[in-house]
Amino acid sequence: MSSSPLLSISTFVFALAAFFYMAALIFKKPRLTLPARWTVVAAVVATTAGLLLRWVESYQMGIGHAPLSNLYESLVFFAWTAGVIYLYVEFKYKNALIGAFVTPIAFLAMAYASMSPNISDRIQPLVPALKSNWLIAHVATCFFGYAAFAIAFGLSIMYLIKARKPDRIEGIIGHLPKLDVLDELTHRMVLFGFLFLTGGIITGAVWANSAWGSYWSWDPKETWSLITWFVYATLLHARLMRGWEGKQIAYLSILGFSAVLFTYFGVNLLPGLHSYGKV
Amino acid sequence: MKNANPLWKFFCSVKLTIVLLLSLAITSIIGTVIPQNESPDAYLHAYGAFRYQLLSTLGIFDMYHSWWFQGLLLLLTINIVVCSIDRLSGSWKLIFTRSPKVRPERFTKRSDARTLTDKRGAEELVSVYEPIVARRYGYCKVTRSNDGAVIYGEKGRLSRLGVYIVHLSVILLLIGGLAGSFFGFEGYVNIAEGEATDTIRIRDTGQIHRLDFQIRCDDFSLTLYETGAPKEYRSALTILEGGQAVKQKDIIVNDPLRYRGINIFQSSYGKLQPEKMPGPETPVAGPAEAYTLNFTSRASGMSYTVSAKVGVPVDIPEGLGKFVVMAYEAETTFRGMDVGAALKGILTPKEGEPVEVLLPLKFANFDKMRGGDVMIAIANQPQEKFTPQQSSEDRYYTGLQVTNDPGVWLVYTGFILMIAGCFVAFYLSHQQVCIVIEQLRKNSRVTFAGTTNRNKLAMKNTVEKIFTALTES
């Protein structure tokens, strides 16, 4: 099997996982989270295989490079990292319903990658600027950061829903994790994301310095990643030094993730050096 | 906050940090929406005179170097420095003490302190408990008194420095950036294949900068993928000092040449402008209403002279088709070569598609190259022989980015410290535990509690584990 149908299959497996989690939440059937978890595992395995196969295929085509070089590949990789980090969180914090807010994000990324008519899933050769060992380090760190921020975003949405009626024990709201757990988890995810975003910006700067002779040139993508960094730095200082928590942090985390989305997609509408991120 | 100075107080505030970080985030957006450092003409065209004046005064067209943006960065720097000094001076003793002071009541008064009673005496309990604490905590101290003992353990005290390392790294980045912009340069130069130069142009100001050595471009090559997308830009460069080649390297986009602190990067390329045809200038007649043309049939070798008015088709003898003179042009080029004034016409052969024909006034044999059934030439002109220069290979120039940044090592040090500092600040914590043993008449009462400066959830589990170990021992 080639990578392309495999990745299409994993899109549907992510959809199935999202469906299980949503069903568990909406119909109050916690038992459904068990098949949901194994479906996420299956989706991650299929995506891993798809990405590795794509890597191999690119070598067979004589233009070998890591599958991290254009919008399609980055979206698939994003879904993969979100799946991996989510599985870790579920394993560590034993709370499955978070999946109802995370797996849909992973599914949307995969679906957007495979179904948007503007995104080509062809394996393309690398342009000269991308031929560097920094490609993997830069893209991988950035996307681990993005995925952690996406999960923090999902948790923040859950927090805001839960915070409307925190004491209710029945219904969907009653099934959501407790507020302090959501708050703590959001914080953990933001810390992880911030560390990796910092790493992503730094590897990008070092790479830029070795390719263009300047580690920082205020190109829109660079600037937007810095804006994202500023927003999350604000969140961390507000929480650790000013004692912000709960809703305030949830709103900042949502603001931060919108900056992430703009860094990822919106910047392509602006002129700049990162044009290979375009479709 | 020992210092009551209001300025110190102002810069000591984390509120200020939050305001500055958000201001930087919001203002940074401007420069991604309005293109930076373009020509004044482009801005005038896009914004009109009034708005151009206004935005230009505010420095919006180079906003990341404007006084107000740099001012925000300066404020943030002072904020970071003052906050760090203030907090570090408060916790310095706590971090760097050799034997930390233990105040058992700090632990026993905690609401989450756990207690148990044990029949064994205090001394016996110390010998059992001490290894449990010592195994987990690098620093373990037992203090004995008449009515019992205190076992204190801690680890990760230095992790409190993580946040200061991150702050220091930010300062290093800013200093490194400043050093680069004051003592370094960022320039560019285009060098034709086979040529050498030692002068470059500075990117922002356009000033000429002279290097201590010459750069020669021996060769430029561009390779394409089958799809036509660029695969590699490669320049073979030689560094010359006093005419002597001292270094040679092929550079590609991600692999620059570094020589004496100066970095040379592959940045662009281009084709050289077509050169003028060599040869004496011959006077050329200007535009006229009608021209006398010679038609030579390839089949018969016969030559016919026909007068043709501009725009009026004439029949070519031997039934070879029609020809119409369309226009006179004073400057024309042919395959990148300047061939001077020429007539442009359209030849419609008896069979086949019409073709456009170029007839340079000074070259009588020019149309022979076309290899058609009929050769057309303009009669009554001073004529030269046309010898096409076979431009078998285009000549290229390579576009190089030439930079020198003495601040880069500071920036890289900042990068390493920032990653390391973030990791320490986020994932390591200063954990302290304390076991207070009180010798009662028949048994001992044990109070146990732990505290941490970070990740309280994980600490709760640790305390639980240790307490279980204590009860089971």
pLDDT per residue as tens digits for the range A144-161: 999 999 999 999 999 999
Question: For residue A270, which residues of chain B lie inside 8 Å, CB to CB?
Answer: 32-33
Q: What is the DSSP letter of B277?
A: P
**Token digits of residue B395:** 């000549």
Mutation to test the A interface, candidates B36, B253, B417, B460, most A Cβ within 10 Å: B253
Give the pLDDT confidence score for residue B277 in this predicted structure.
44
CA distance B436 to B152: 8
* Side-chain-side CA neighbours of residue B104 (13 Å): 17
pLDDT at A118 over 80: no
B28 touches chain A (CB under 8 A): yes
Angle formed at CA A9 by CA A30 and CA A13, multiple of 5 degrees: 5
What pLDDT does B336 receive?
A: 62
DSSP B372-426: -SEEEEESSS--B--------S--EEEEEEEEE-TTHHHHHHHHHHHHHHHHHHH
List the 414-443 stretch of B: residues with Cβ below 8 A of A.
415, 418-419, 422-423, 426-427
Per DSSP, what are the bridge partners of residue B234?
Answer: B221
Q: What is the 3-state secondary structure (H, E, C) of A80-99?
A: HHHHHHHHHHHHHHCCHHHH
Q: Which residue has the higher pLDDT, B456 or A237?
A: A237
CA dist B257 to A114, B98, B191, B237, B401, Å? 41, 50, 15, 8, 11
Give the residue-averaged pLDDT of B185-197. 90
Q: What is the pLDDT of residue A203?
A: 96
Name the residue type at position B253. Answer: V
- Longest Cα–Cα distance of chain B, Å, equals 139
pLDDT at res. A238: 92
At residue B390, the pLDDT reads 45
Q: Does B8 touch chain A (CB under 8 A)?
A: no
Phi, psi of B238 (to 5 degrees): -130, 135
Rounded-to-integer distance, Cα B379 and Cα A123, Å: 59
The answer to whether B15 faces chain A, any CB pair under 8 Å, is: yes
How far apart, in whole angstroms, are the C-alpha atoms of residue B264 and residue B255? 9
- Give chain B positions within 8 Å (CB) of A184: 457
Q: pLDDT at residue A193 above 60?
A: yes
Closest Cα in chain B, distance from residue A188 (Å): 9
- Partners of B314 in the beta sheet? B323
Is the pLDDT assigned to residue B39 strictly greater than 50?
A: yes
- How many angstroms away from the CA of B256 is the closest CA of chain A? 7
What pLDDT score was predicted for residue A278?
43
CB contact under 8 A, A227 and B29: yes
Q: SS3 helix, strand, coil % of chain A, rounded to 5?
A: 80, 0, 20
State chain B's mean pLDDT as an integer: 85
Least reliable range by pLDDT among A73-87, B135-149, B318-332:
B318-332
- Write out chain B residues lying below 8 Å of A134, CB-based: 254
Tokens 């937007």 -> residue = A224
Is residue A149 a contact partner of residue A189, using CB atoms and an 8 Å limit? yes
Q: Distance (Å) from the C-alpha of residue B22 to the closest C-alpha of chain A?
A: 7
Say whether A63 and B233 touch across the interface (CB within 8 A): no
Residue of chain B whose alpha carbon sits nearest to that of A233:
B21
Report whether A68 contacts A17 (CB < 8 A). Answer: no
Cα–Cα distance for residue pair A200/B306, rounded to 1 Å: 75
| A-chain residues near B398 (CB < 8 A) | none
Can you tell me which residue has the tokens 């279980």? B468
User: In terms of CA atoms, which chain A residue is nearest residue B177?
Assistant: A216
Minimum distance, in Å, between the CA of residue A42 and any CA atom of chain B: 30
What mean pLDDT comes out for the span B1-27? 86
Q: In a mutagenesis test of the A interface, which of B28, B32, B231, B417 is the best target, namely the one with the most A β-carbons within 10 Å?
A: B32
Burial class (CB in 10 A: 0-12, 13-18, 19+), A1: exposed
Residues contacting residue A279 through CB under 8 Å, at least 6 positions apart: A71, A116, A118, A119, A120, A268
| Spatial distance between the Cα atoms of B415 and B426, rounded to a whole number of angstroms | 16
Upper half-sphere CA count for residue B414 (Cβ side, 13 Å): 22
B28 closest CB neighbour out of A199, A214, A227: A227
What does the pLDDT read at residue B384? 63
Handedness of CA A126, A129, A130, A133 (dihedral sign): positive
What residues of chain A lie within 8 A of the CB of B225, using their CB? 63, 125
The answer to whether the CB of B41 falls within 8 A of the CB of B65 is no
B365 has a pLDDT exceeding 60? yes
Nearest C-alpha in B relative to A222: B32
* A209 within 8 A of B408, measured Cβ to Cβ: yes
Name, in order, each residue with C-beta under 8 angstroms of B39's C-beta and a sequence gap of 6 or more.
none
CB-CB under 8 Å, B230 with A230? no
- Percent of chain B having pLDDT more than 90? 31
Quote the minimal CA–CA distance from A261 to chain B in Å.
14
- Spell out which residues of chain A touch residue B457, defining contact as CB-CB under 8 Å: 184
State mean pLDDT over A254-261: 96
Q: Tell if the CB–CB gap between A211 and B253 is shorter than 8 Å.
A: yes
- Measured between alpha carbons, how far is A175 from A179 in angstroms, rounded to an integer? 11
Q: Which residue of B has its CA nearest to A240?
A: B454
Pairs of CB atoms within 8 A across A/B: 114
Q: What is the DSSP letter of A131?
A: -
Question: What integer pLDDT is reported at residue B249 of this predicted model?
Answer: 92
Output the CA–CA distances (angstroms, integers) from residue A277 to B28, B89, B134, in the order listed: 21, 46, 53
Max mean pLDDT among A32-46, B281-295, B331-345 falls in A32-46
How far apart CA B183 and CA B201 sit, in angstroms, is 16
Specify the DSSP class assigned to residue A143: H
Q: How many Cβ atoms from other residues are within 10 Å of residue B376's Cβ? A: 24
Predicted TM-score (pTM) of the model is: 0.80
Contact B452, B424 (CB under 8 A): no
Residue given tokens 């829109």 in the structure block: A220
Q: ∠ CA(A145), CA(A151), CA(A154), 5° rounding?
A: 145
**Strands, E assignment, B6-128:** 114-118
Q: Which residues does chain B have within 8 Å of residue A212's beta carbon, measured at their own beta carbons?
A: 265, 267, 401
The Cα B163–Cα B422 span in angstroms is 7
Q: pLDDT-based confidence at B284, cuts 50/70/90?
A: low
Q: How remote is the C-alpha of A88 from its chain's centroid?
A: 14
Q: Which of B168, B172, B132 is nearest to B152 (CA)?
A: B132
Mean pLDDT of A125-145: 89
| CB atoms inside a 10 Å sphere around CB B112 | 13
Of residues B24, B254, B422, nearest to A131 (C-beta): B254
Q: What's the token pair of residue B413? A: 């040090």
pLDDT at site A274? 54
Residues in chain A whose Cβ is within 8 Å of chain B: 63, 124-125, 127-129, 131-132, 134, 184, 191-192, 194-195, 198-199, 202, 205-206, 209-216, 218, 220, 223-224, 226-227, 230-231, 233-234, 237-238, 241-242, 259, 267, 270-271
Contact of B348 with B354, CB cutoff 8 Å: yes
* Chain B, nearest residue to A228 by Cα: B25
Rounded distance between C-alpha atoms, residue B82 and residue B78, angstroms: 6
Which of B458, B420, B424 is CA-nearest to residue A185? B458
* Measured CA distances, B231 to B192, B360, B395 (Å): 21, 40, 19
- Provide φ and ψ at A29, rounded to 5°: -120, 85
d(CA B207, CA B199): 10
Mutation choice for A interface testing from B21, B29, B455 by most A CBs within 10 A: B21
Amino acid symbol at B332? T
The alpha-carbon gap from A172 to the nearest alpha carbon of chain B, in Å, equals 26
Edge-first strand listing for the sheet containing B314-316: B314-316, B321-334, B337-349, B355-360
Closest residue in chain A to residue B456, using alpha carbons only: A184
Give how far A68 is from chain B: nearest CA, Å. 17
